[in-house]
Amino acid sequence: NAGVMQNPRHLVRRRGQEARLRCSPMKGHSHVYWYRQLPEEGLKFMVYLQKENIIDESGMPKERFSAEFPKEGPSILRIQQVVRGDSAAYFCASSPALAGGYEQYFGPGTRLTVT
Amino acid sequence: QKEVEQNSGPLSVPEGAIASLNCTYSDRGSQSFFWYRQYSGKSPELIMSIYSNGDKEDGRFTAQLNKASQYVSLLIRDSQPSDSATYLCAVNDGGSNYKLTFGKGTLLTVNP
């Protein structure tokens, strides 16, 4: 599968637990983006990463949320001490390192449910 | 606050007709414009990108861009029931180039 991969596809956590969402970009892509889609709302940018670098995390809540994209392995979006309001679909997208135009290709998403 | 506005719909068209989806955006610095299709419960799928004023055609899809009017549209010719989905307009942040702002989407229903 040459597409963007995300796992798990569904994740259930109780309030106060930690959620770890993983994303492997499309082959040949070095840029990773995380978006959140709340029910009845549009996709919202959270963070943009390149290997070992967080380029822009302006869309990510300051508390409890963190992201990384290590030299080896997938990108991780980590949510500590989850609350019910964190329930959403989290999508990862990737793009190649193009000089202009940033066509982003989305993975299947992780549906997080906080009980 | 940079905004991307779309008519939420639903937009209902008969099979074989042309579906016209519209989008306006507030950031005059935006340079990249995208249309995504999202089936219910699935992830967004990129169907068109456009960067210059005018029309861009790809199969049954035509994207139209007018930067002066801050307007981008998507036409779907010969609409099929399989085109029934939510169509998302995405516009890059003029200040960053990579950050996309999405509209809330237009729900399209193609009736057989």
pLDDT digits (tens, 9 = 90+) for A42-88: 899 999 999 899 999 999 999 999 999 999 999 999 999 999 999 99
Give the 3-state secondary structure of residue A38.
coil
Phi/psi of residue A96, nearest 5 degrees: -75, 170
Runs of H (alpha helix) within A7-90: none
Residue A98 has pLDDT above 80, yes or no: no
Residue B90 parent element (H or E) = strand B85-92
Q: Tokens 């392995």 sit at which residue? A: A73
* Residue of A104, A105, A110, A111 for testing the chain B interface, max B β-carbons within 10 Å: A104
Using the Cβ of A102 and the Cβ atoms of chain B, whether some distance falls under 8 Å is answered with yes
Q: Residue A49's beta-bridge partner residues?
A: A32, A54
- Contact flag B44-A45 (C-beta cutoff 8 Å): no
CA-based nearest residue in chain A for residue B90: A43
B8 Cβ neighbours under 8 A, 6+ residues apart: B104, B105, B106, B107
* CB nearest to B98's CB, from A42, A48, A109: A48
Say if residues A93 and A35 touch (Cβ distance below 8 Å): yes
Residues 25..54 of B with a Cβ closer than 8 Å to A: which? 32, 34, 36, 42-46, 49, 51
Q: Which of A19, A35, A17, A50 is nearest to A107 (CA)?
A: A35
Using the Cβ of A65 and the Cβ atoms of chain B, whether some distance falls under 8 Å is answered with no
Enter the tokens of residue A49: 């990463």
Say if residues B76 and B47 touch (Cβ distance below 8 Å): no
- Contact flag A103-B46 (C-beta cutoff 8 Å): yes
Q: Residue A68's beta-bridge partner residues?
A: A76
Instruction: Order the strands of the A75-79 sheet from edge to edge.
Output: A5-7, A19-24, A75-79, A65-68
- Contact flag B51-A105 (C-beta cutoff 8 Å): no
**Residue B99 one-letter amino acid:** K
Residue-wise pLDDT tens for chain B (112 aa)?
789 999 888 999 999 999 999 999 999 999 999 999 999 999 999 999 999 999 999 999 999 999 999 999 999 999 999 999 999 999 998 877 788 999 999 999 999 9
Using the Cβ of B1 and the Cβ atoms of chain A, whether some distance falls under 8 Å is answered with no
